[in-house]
Structure 1
Amino acid sequence: MELSQLKMVNAVARTGSIARAAEQLHCVPSNITNRLKQLECELGTPLFTRVGRGLKISAAGEIFLGYSERILALVDEAKRALDDQAEPSGLLRLGAIESCAGGRLPPLLAQYHRRYPKVSVELVTGTWSQLFTQLQQQRIDGALVAVDTLPPRLKQTVLYHEPLVLISSAGSAPIHSASDLQGQHLFMWPQGCPYRHALENWLARHGLNLPITGYASWGTIIGCVSVGAGVSLIPEGVLERYAQSATLNIQRFSDLLPVDNRFVWHQDVQRHNARDAFARLLQEHLRA
């Protein structure tokens, strides 16, 4: 078993194709095919199954993939430990919830690219639970989330307090207090979203128990509100992204508490120049 074979397994698992994996690894497809067959013979089990013209990782392959990612991450950490003062370079795998990815993050990513051109950044979006799973499996190096309860082996730092605003369509009646929401249709992310939790807590403090329709997309939620279908509570950073495309009334309430956004990483990866440089950039511009 060689590190090059582990990289091949990871590339095929990500792309679902030997041809695309070969492009990423700058080798010929036949080399990957032969090396994977050798590895499967050594392990005594198939790592992939063919589905149409592509490949899907097998149940045994999923188990092996978790170990291979950890091994490769440990190898990278060993290299970084010997060159701790070097300029950040290599691959940085980031995750973010949609409100961060579409709100505060884009200008910071652009600045990071200018400051550290030798770093190649990969960004995935997902729910906080999905991102925590990827962090625990060391499939990503860091994540931006908005929850404060962490699974084992993850560490965090608070970056900024995200203000929350209530939005309604420009043609609807003004909303001056929580009681004005009676009879309104509320749109929010599904259960588990920290912003939905903030909305439910705010309504409960005012003695309101209103039905909420869950959509897992800020674009869909804001689109429904802008055409007068109802109201929603959104992070201010998301509002900035959609302000040009939606006609909205915006209300701020002093008792609507902000939500803390946090940067999270795996505690076992103590040194990661590219990740640590990104964390410093986040703190420089977003520190609460």
Structure 2
Amino acid sequence: MELTQLKMVQAVARFGSIARAAEQLHCVPSNITNRLKQLESELGTPLFTRVGRGLKISPAGEIFLGYSERILALVDEARRAVDSQAEPSGLLRLGSIESCAGGRLPPLLAEYHRRYPQVSVELITGTWSQLFEELRHQRIDGALVAIDTLPAKLQQTVLYHEPLVLISSDGSAPIHNASDLQGQHLFMWPAGCPYRRALENWLGKHGLDLPITGYASWGTIIGCVSAGAGVSLIPEGVLERYAQSSTLRVQRFSDLAPVDNRFVWHQDVQQHRARDAFAQLLRETLGA
């Protein structure tokens, strides 16, 4: 059993295709096919089953994948540990919810690239549950989320309190208080989003139970509001990234609590110089 085979198992499980795994690992598909057959023969059990034109990981493969990811993570940590005095380098895999990726994050990434040019950064966006799953399997090194309930084995640091603002189209009537929302069409992310929960809590505090249309895109939500279709609650850091912001009416309410944004990582990966340098930059710039 070799590390190369573990990386192949990881890649095939992720992409469900030997061809796509070969592209990711920069090798020919036949090499992966042969090495996986050798590994399955050594283990005495199939790791994948064929489904249509793709591959699906088997129950035994799921168990083996968990160990593979832990082994590969420990190997990476061992390399970093013996090179503890070196400048951050290599690959940093980050995840972020869309509100942070489109709001606070771009200038921070630019500063990080300036400070640590030897680090190659990969960024994915997703919901907090998707990012937690990526962290659980150690497919990313850290994530920016806005939820305070973490699964086991994840650690966090609170970065900043994101103010929330109510937006409506520039031609609509002003909204002076929550009761003015009666009869308005509300747009927000689908259920489970911490910003939606903040909106629902605020409405509940004022005795309002209004229907909310869920769209999983700030761009779509802001576009609908700008077109006069309704109103929404938006993280302040997101708003300035959209051209429509100049055509919106923005209102702030003192009883509308901000949402904590956090940086989260897997506790089993204790040493990761590129990740730790990024976390330090986040604390310096956004520290609550």
TM range (shorter): over 0.9
Residue 257 of structure 2 is matched in structure 1 by 257
Q: Which amino acid aligns with 1:187?
A: F
Residue 89 of structure 2 is matched in structure 1 by 89
* Contact 1:81/1:271, CA 8 A, preserved across alignment: yes
After TM superposition, list the pairs within 5 Å mapping 1:2-13 onto structure 2. 2-13=2-13
After TM superposition, list the pairs within 5 Å mapping 1:187-202 onto structure 2. 187-202=187-202
Cα deviation digits, residues 40-67 of structure 1 (max 9, x gap): 2222333334455544434433332222
TM superposition shift of 1:17: 3.5
SS in 2 for 1:241: coil
SS in 1 for 2:241: helix
TM superposition shift of 1:93: 1.6
Root-mean-square deviation over aligned CA pairs: 1.9
Whole-angstrom CA distance in 1 between matches of 2:38 and 2:245:
54
Cα deviation digits, residues 136-180 of structure 1 (max 9, x gap): 232221111111122222211111111101011112111111111
* Contact 2:138/2:266, CA 8 A, preserved across alignment: yes
Deviates more, 1:260-269 or 1:127-136: 127-136
Q: TM-score, normalised by structure 1?
A: 0.92
Query: Is residue 2:113 matched to residue 1:113?
Result: yes
Whole-angstrom CA distance in 2 between matches of 1:253 and 1:20:
50
Residue 164 of structure 2 is matched in structure 1 by 164
Cα deviation digits, residues 101-148 of structure 1 (max 9, x gap): 121112212222232222222222222122223222322211111111
Query: Is residue 2:275 matched to residue 1:282?
Result: no
* Contact 1:16/1:55, CA 8 A, preserved across alignment: yes
Are the structure 2 counterparts of residues 211 and 122 from structure 1 closer, same or farther at C-alpha, using a change threshold of 3 Å?
A: same
Residue 210 of structure 1 is matched in structure 2 by 210
Q: Which amino acid aligns with 1:38?
A: Q
Whole-angstrom CA distance in 2 between matches of 1:165 and 1:171:
17
Q: Which amino acid aligns with 1:61?
A: G
Whole-angstrom CA distance in 1 between matches of 2:61 and 2:153:
24
Whole-angstrom CA distance in 2 between matches of 1:125 and 1:45:
35
After TM superposition, list the pairs within 5 Å mapping 1:129-144 onto structure 2. 129-144=129-144
Query: Quick one: percent identity of the two aligned structures?
Result: 87
TM superposition shift of 1:276: 0.2
Query: Is residue 2:80 matched to residue 1:80?
Result: yes
Deviates more, 1:264-273 or 1:239-248: 239-248
Residue 266 of structure 1 is matched in structure 2 by 266
Whole-angstrom CA distance in 1 between matches of 2:48 and 2:121:
27
After TM superposition, list the pairs within 5 Å mapping 1:29-40 onto structure 2. 29-40=29-40
* Contact 1:222/1:246, CA 8 A, preserved across alignment: no
Q: Which amino acid aligns with 2:67?
A: Y
Whole-angstrom CA distance in 2 between matches of 1:152 and 1:160:
23
Residue 153 of structure 2 is matched in structure 1 by 153
SS in 2 for 1:213: strand
SS in 1 for 2:10: helix
SS in 2 for 1:166: strand
Q: Which structure 2 residue ranges, 5 or more long, are not aligned?
A: none
TM superposition shift of 1:231: 0.6
* Contact 2:160/2:262, CA 8 A, preserved across alignment: yes
Residue 220 of structure 2 is matched in structure 1 by 220
Whole-angstrom CA distance in 2 between matches of 1:246 and 1:46:
58
Residue 61 of structure 2 is matched in structure 1 by 61
